[in-house]
Structure 1
Amino acid sequence: MTEAVMGARPSAVAPRQFYVWMAGTCFLIAVLGFLPTYWMPLAKGSFKAEPMVHVHGIVMFAWVTFFFTQTRLVAQGKILAHRTWGMLGISIITAMAFIVTAVTSLRLAQAALPGQPAAIVREVRAFTWVTMGALAFIVPVFTLAIVKLKDSETHKRLILLMTISMLGAPIARWFLFAAPPPDPNAPPWPAGLPVIGAPPMLIAISAALIGDILLFVAMAYDWRTRGKVHPVYLIGGAIMLLMHVTMAQVGDSAAWQSVAVAIGRLAVAG
């Protein structure tokens, strides 16, 4: 490993190490973010959810693990291994697209059951834009990263940008963990119906923007080492930020509410 790194050009080694640190940071955020609301309850046997929710967790954790491992391989000069394992990344993102859609569709189908509180149903449908909007960003960015495989400077920035866009979910879990307990005087949920709910949009937006700090770290590193910021961060980053700050408006729009109803019917049809 040492020989591989020492054999690389000094100017190439530093950026590789930077991306290892960035991937490691994303990995830690993902693990620590889900620690209080998923990993710890799961270890205690108190986390109850449908099997597909666990599959969703495995797939998301697989991605951050894969991303960190891939950046380590590049930093060690093991480019052939990096490219060989790249096919696994395609499988993970494909699985992510299906499982995120499936979980979202299930929640929307539960919200569509007769008797569910109308105000809560609208909130659930609005919040699904957070997950489906993220997927609408992840898939094209990853596809472009595959197209740009031979352009390593663009490829690695696209993968990093895509991973940063996922960090809002684990960060938001700490907001929820610190939230006050439910009101004990609240009216009971309608009998026979699954309990549904959605975090406030403010939490989702705040968490996403905290994660976006890593984008500005990457941009600052580009500016310091290249004298300019790569277009991936300027264009892709701008799109990501715009999507994050407009979550509430899009989710509450009549257009998205109608789309959410259609997504919910997928679970019913399945």
Structure 2
Amino acid sequence: MFVGEAVLGTRAGVGSSRRFYVWMASACLAIAVVGFMPTYFLPLAQGRFRAEPIVHIHGLVLFSWVAFFFTQTWLVATGRTLAHRTWGMLGIAIVTAMTCVITAVVSMRVAQASLPGQPAGTAEGVRAFAWVTIGGLAFIVPVFILAIVKLKDSEAHKRLILLMTVSMLGAPIARWFLTFLAPPPDPNAPPWPAGLPHVAAPPVFVAVTPALIGDILLVVAMVYDWRTRGRPHPVYLIGGGIMLLLHLTMVPVSNSPAWQAIAAAIGRLAG
């Protein structure tokens, strides 16, 4: 009887964990959809969004990741583990594409901001804000590689994938800040130079608060760990600590001469 109760308890625990990760993946997907609604999805549907094709590819690739993450957690929760493993190769393709397209977009924007005739400070501001994106990518890629290495350790693997996805949520959350809290345009500002692409970046500090709000999901996951296993998993403690440090140091790193030089080199990749 006691053995049977233990087995039932274990199964119940596994089921609870799977449902929890489905809810976490659902939250990530919802944040991505709602976050980009006012600045991308609605303007695109209304024909008001104009951007280079690479920007649309960028949006498709990044959104495909959160949709993929949700689908994978749902497959596990419904007992389709074999399908989850089969579709895993698609995740590698998405992250590879993500790395390429993010680098391409950043390179294009830095190159555009560096064109002769751009207003003073434009290049420096765009190069600084590029750290928000490239710094995030520098976190995402190693975490994803480690998740692949830990495929046979499901407890570490699923937490690494969640950690990676949570680290991406600052961008959609920031869109609401930029939509509803951005100051009105300065009527006395001079017109943008004719013939040059309009490239502008907000101050880096505006990205810090949205990133920290996104980190709340990781706190939720740590609390769940505390309640179900007595302590947070090392993935959350170590990886979360690194992610928090990355978010808190955005401003000083982005304005450092070293990063400005690296960002300028990335801009030269665009030709």
Confirm or deny a common fold (TM above 0.5): yes
The CA distance in 1 between the partners of 2:247 and 2:20, in whole Å, is: 25
Cross-structure match for 1:182: 185
Offset, 1:181? 2.8
Contact 2:170 2:211 in 1 (8 A): yes
1:144 matched to 2:126? The reply is no
After superposition, give the CA deviation of every residue in 1:153-177 in whole Å (9 maximum; x if it has no partner): 0000000000000000000000111
The CA distance in 1 between the partners of 2:189 and 2:242, in whole Å, is: 40
Q: Which amino acid aligns with 1:100?
A: I
Where do 1:18-97 residues align within 5 Å?
18-97=20-99
Q: Out of 262, 265, 269, which is 1:266 matched to?
A: 269
Offset, 1:197? 0.7
Offset, 1:13? 0.4
Q: Which amino acid aligns with 1:101?
A: T
Contact 2:205 2:250 in 1 (8 A): no
TM, length-normalised to structure 2: 0.95
Q: Which amino acid aligns with 1:239?
A: I
The CA distance in 1 between the partners of 2:221 and 2:173, in whole Å, is: 19
Q: Is 200-209 or 63-72 further displaced after alignment?
A: 200-209
SS of the equivalent of 1:195 reads: coil
Offset, 1:115? 1.4
Cross-structure match for 2:206: 203
Cross-structure match for 2:167: 165
SS of the equivalent of 1:192 reads: coil
Cross-structure match for 1:193: 196
Where do 1:235-254 residues align within 5 Å?
235-254=238-257
Cross-structure match for 2:4: none
After superposition, give the CA deviation of every residue in 1:123-164 in whole Å (9 maximum; x if it has no partner): 110000000000000000000000000000000000000000
The CA distance in 2 between the partners of 1:247 and 1:256, in whole Å, is: 11
Cross-structure match for 1:3: none
- Taking only the aligned residue pairs, the percentage that are identical comes to 70
TM, length-normalised to structure 1: 0.95
1:232 matched to 2:206? The reply is no
The CA distance in 1 between the partners of 2:42 and 2:200, in whole Å, is: 21
The CA distance in 1 between the partners of 2:231 and 2:216, in whole Å, is: 18
The CA distance in 1 between the partners of 2:206 and 2:113, in whole Å, is: 21
After superposition, give the CA deviation of every residue in 1:35-94 in whole Å (9 maximum; x if it has no partner): 000000000000000000000000011000000000000001111000000000000000
Contact 2:125 2:201 in 1 (8 A): yes
Offset, 1:118? 2.8
Where do 1:90-109 residues align within 5 Å?
90-109=92-111
The CA distance in 1 between the partners of 2:51 and 2:187, in whole Å, is: 23
The CA distance in 2 between the partners of 1:256 and 1:118, in whole Å, is: 19
Offset, 1:120? 2.0
